[in-house]
Amino acid sequence: MRAFIGIRIKADKGLLEIIDKLGKFKELRLVKPEVMHLNLKFLGDIDEEQAGQIKSILDEIAASAETNAFDLRLSNLGVFPDKKFIRVVWLGVESEPLMKLHSHLEEKLAGLGFMKEQGYKPHITLARAKGRPPEEVHDVLNKEYNRDVRVMKIELIKSTLTEQGPLYETIHEVELK
């Protein structure tokens, strides 16, 4: 199964307005608000045995005195790779506890043979470009957006790619204290 570890993000009114404005550009394929998430670690194809090991790691992390519920700051829109050649439109994420959680996950998963990710840049994908968006897209990208989100759980999520977009199914979730 194709899987990742993530944090689900619920779109508020302000974020839905930004998504609506991005939706006016036919060159952008929007991510459905109901599947928005922050990817902590893309795992790729895993088998049932690996899934069980990953569940145990998530349980261990959630039980740790070092891992508590925390806040994310959602802010600033950005693009990959750059503003001249937009492939992905994203919402930035800032949080020191998130970075510590990511580092902790990387260490634990490395013990299972998963490669450590260098230069983790937390973000929430809002849209993917299927063509070159017009210059007017930069008006939306320059909009101010700031919101704090409380993270209460992390999930192991199965991802199934379809023509209508990805389908996500929670395989395991852990509550943070």
**Residues annotated catalytic, as ranges:** 37, 123
Contact 7, 37 (CB under 8 A): yes
Contact 54, 22 (CB under 8 A): no
- Phi/psi class of residue 137: alpha, beta or left (left: φ > 0; alpha: ψ in -120 to 50)? alpha
